[in-house]
Amino acid sequence: MNFSVGIEGTFAPQCEKDTLSETGHFSEPLHDFELVCELGITEVRYPIPWHRIENEPGEYNWSELDRVLPRVYDELDLSIIADPLHHTSYPSWLCGGFLDSAFADAYARFVTAFAERFPMVQCYTPFNEPTCTLDFCGYRGFWHPYAKGDFPYLKMLQNTALAYARCVHLLRWRNPAVKILHVDTFEHHAALDEASVARADFLNERRFLFEELVQGLIQPGHPLYQYLIENGFPRRNLVWHAEHPVRIDERGGNYYPLNEEQLRDGKTFHAPSKAPRGFADVVQDYAARVKPPLSLTETNIQGSVADRISWLKYMLEQTEKAREGGVEFQQFAWYPLFDCVGWHCLLQGRCWSKDPQGLYTCAGGWRRVSTELSRWYQRMVRRCDSEALPAYAFGPKHERTLAGLMSQMDWRWEEAPEELACAA
């Protein structure tokens, strides 16, 4: 199993803010890639900021990437996993976002133009976390364009799945050796009452919907076929996907405490779940159903450096348990590389404060600082196992967040040194 890392880059169209700019990445972008090398990692998932590159339809400004990507490959001997659509990171002129009728054509043109400009890039994540992104944008109305219900959700699914499939086929036409790393959630939904059983069952099917759609697997007899048809998803699109199936080379999944929830009266009641299965168990659902090899492509917890070290220990231990159960992982990735911004409020509003969640902490002026966590990650890259990591008691802010998972952490706890417990 290889170790990896990613740089967070999400644009929120409603307030015209993006995490790459807010964290100072563009002031010294090469320095962030040097931190990846410092960890001993050779590949990094990197957002391609479509919203910054194509400010006017059809007009691409590659200047920021031109200054960085060739040097990343030639001088640092790093490779990137290109991430051109990280959540809602599309240009503002797509006023309807994923509902915009121009979305699929615009995105396919952009990805093609990027591939032509940077042929050294051999690996792509065409759409980061479609399951939760479309849920937030098109079912719950939480993110731009704030649509609610099954009909807009499926319209967004229609547009993004078509864009995804067209991009993959165009990339493979240009370069048959290109690798597609599909990144989505590892999640689970549990019913607390009889009224929630059907909804939990539906959501546990929906977690596979996007990838099975683009792979051409949604046909009569599929558990969600009737749901799609009854809510306006065009049959012709299902036929098109069946005739143009996408090949996914690796299925990455992201796991956080919020990925497990409990429902009551058919709605979210506890998130995080108060009785979570844990990563090692949830990932078995995916191993049983998903054909491509699996990876853990994102995990983190916000808090002190000590909190993050203990979460790293938990996730590594869970990965080891899953491997003992027969799941072979291609990679393990902590995400993000350095502290981010805006995720404490799920990118709502305009006042985004720092999220202490990175391998590297950000000090004043967003200066990157090596921590005990980044040093432990270096050791993990060199093949330490979870047992070597200390088990620091989590801070009070995690009493609720991790209450359900604590029984899975059968460790000898120790108090964190003061400098680790306070560094957040």
Among residues 262, 356, 364, 363, the alpha carbon closest in space to that of 311 is found at: 356
Among residues 387, 367, 333, 407, the alpha carbon closest in space to that of 8 is found at: 333
Kindly tell me if the per-residue pLDDT of 424 is higher than 80: no
The pLDDT tens digits of the residues spanning 225-256 come to 999 999 999 999 999 999 999 999 999 999 99
Average pLDDT over residues 170-175: 97
Give the per-residue pLDDT at 422.
Answer: 73
The pLDDT tens digits of the residues spanning 92-135 come to 999 999 999 999 999 999 999 999 999 999 999 999 999 999 99
Domain ranges of the chain: 2-422
- Residue reference for tokens 């999220």: 355
**What is the full DSSP assignment across 34-97?**
HHHHHHT--EEEEE--HHHH-SBTTB---HHHHHHHHHHHHTS--EEEEES-BTT-S-TT-TTG
Give the per-residue pLDDT at 419.
Answer: 86
CATH class of the region 2-422: alpha beta
How far apart are alpha carbons 353 and 362 in whole angstroms? 12
3-state class (DSSP) for residue 261: strand
Q: State the CB neighbour count (10 A cutoff) for residue 159.
A: 24
The pLDDT tens digits of the residues spanning 60-83 come to 999 999 999 999 999 999 999 999
Percent of the chain topping pLDDT 90: 96
Q: How confident is the model at residue 288 (pLDDT cuts 50, 70, 90)?
A: very high
Distances (CA, A) of 398 to 281, 385, 392: 22, 24, 12
